[in-house]
Copies of this chain bind each other. A is one copy, B any other.
Amino acid sequence: MIKQLAIVGGTHGNEFTGIYLLKKWQDNIELIQRGSFNTETVFGNPEAYQANKRYINSDLNRRFNQVELENRTLTGLEEVRAKQINQQLGPKGDPRIDFIIDVHTTTSNMGPTLLLTAKGKFYNQLAAYVQMNMPEVVISCDEDHKTNQEQHFLSSIAKHSVMVEVGPVPQSVLRHDVFEQSERMTLLILDFIELYNTDQLPQFPVTIDAFRFLETISLPLNSKGERIAMIHRDIQDKDFAAIEPGQPLFVTFAGEEICYQGDTTVYGSFINEAAYYDNNLAMSLMEKVTLNCR
């Protein structure tokens, strides 16, 4: 039974969609209320939004592992903000909030994507429900073998959580289509939880298709650490399409192709995400998986 739910927007200050959705819902609270649980809203990083940046000192959505939350010597803006949010929604380990929906956007062409943070029939049925009502939604499984205590995402404060991740939209921009997709997905998640709580879940398909995170791959650098290549046009905007062994992944600024060296078919996500340039990450590689829903 889920009794307390929080919707978080603006965990990244330049992802405007979640921030404006929060404003809309705060002015029209009935849109996010359901009978069987309480919903509250949290603006993740208002200071970063004011500065029109993803973050001020460090990425807020990497600040929530247990060790860091308990380390009082950490005083960067996001380190402090993480402790505040943990106090408000958590504390992690024994949280007041049962379920967190964290609303994000990406510059990658991922379409409306539902990121599942853990395994299990509850998540699989949630994903199936969203997809039954919104067939364009892609399911991405990011359970990365960390324990919840080790996990550094904001949503890991609660025992259960998902991330809504929609693109493409540039940083610091609102798109009508992305706004509507993000709202629709979020409301469908609330609807599912209402049905779950009230024991009214519908019949689900036996399985649904999804993608599971394998690894991140980096932009090619020279010996000085400078980028020497960019994402190849053949995979730009091709999130969740197959990448075959030998296929061009990058093109150097001089025009030479750099190809995928793996020996199995994989699928890209977060391809050319703006925020990942900080760490010279080019994309995530995923495998196709099947989730059991009954």
Q: Which A residues fall within an 8 A CB radius of B?
A: 20, 23-24, 28, 52-53, 107, 168, 170-177, 179, 227, 230-233, 236, 251, 253-254, 272, 274, 277-278
Residue of B nearest to A248 (CB): B176
Complex contacts, A251 vs chain B, CB 8 Å: 176
User: In terms of DSSP, what is the predominant structure of the interface of chain A?
Assistant: loop
The answer, among B24, B170, B233, B278, for a CB contact under 8 Å with A171, is B170
Residue of B nearest to A21 (CB): B253
| Bound: A225/B85 CA distance, A | 29
Contact A173 B253 (CB under 8 A): no
4 closest Cβ pairs, A-B complex: A170-B170, A176-B233, A107-B170, A174-B230
Complex contacts, A168 vs chain B, CB 8 Å: 170
Q: Copy number in this complex?
A: 2
Complex contacts, A52 vs chain B, CB 8 Å: 278
Contact B230 A274 (CB under 8 A): no
Complex contacts, A278 vs chain B, CB 8 Å: 52
| Bound: A83/B177 CA distance, A | 43
Contact A274/B175 with A20-B253, A23-B253, A24-B253 known, Cβ cut-off 8 Å: no
Complex contacts, A233 vs chain B, CB 8 Å: 176-177
Complex contacts, A170 vs chain B, CB 8 Å: 107, 168, 170-171, 173, 274
25 A/B residue pairs, CB under 8 Å, sorted by A: A20-B227, A20-B230, A20-B253, A24-B253, A24-B254, A52-B278, A53-B53, A107-B170, A168-B170, A170-B170, A170-B171, A170-B173, A171-B172, A172-B274, A172-B277, A173-B277, A174-B231, A175-B230, A175-B231, A176-B232, A176-B236, A176-B251, A177-B233, A177-B236, A179-B230
A175: min CB distance to chain B, Å: 6
Contact A175 B277 (CB under 8 A): no
Complex contacts, A227 vs chain B, CB 8 Å: 20
Complex contacts, A253 vs chain B, CB 8 Å: 20, 23-24, 179
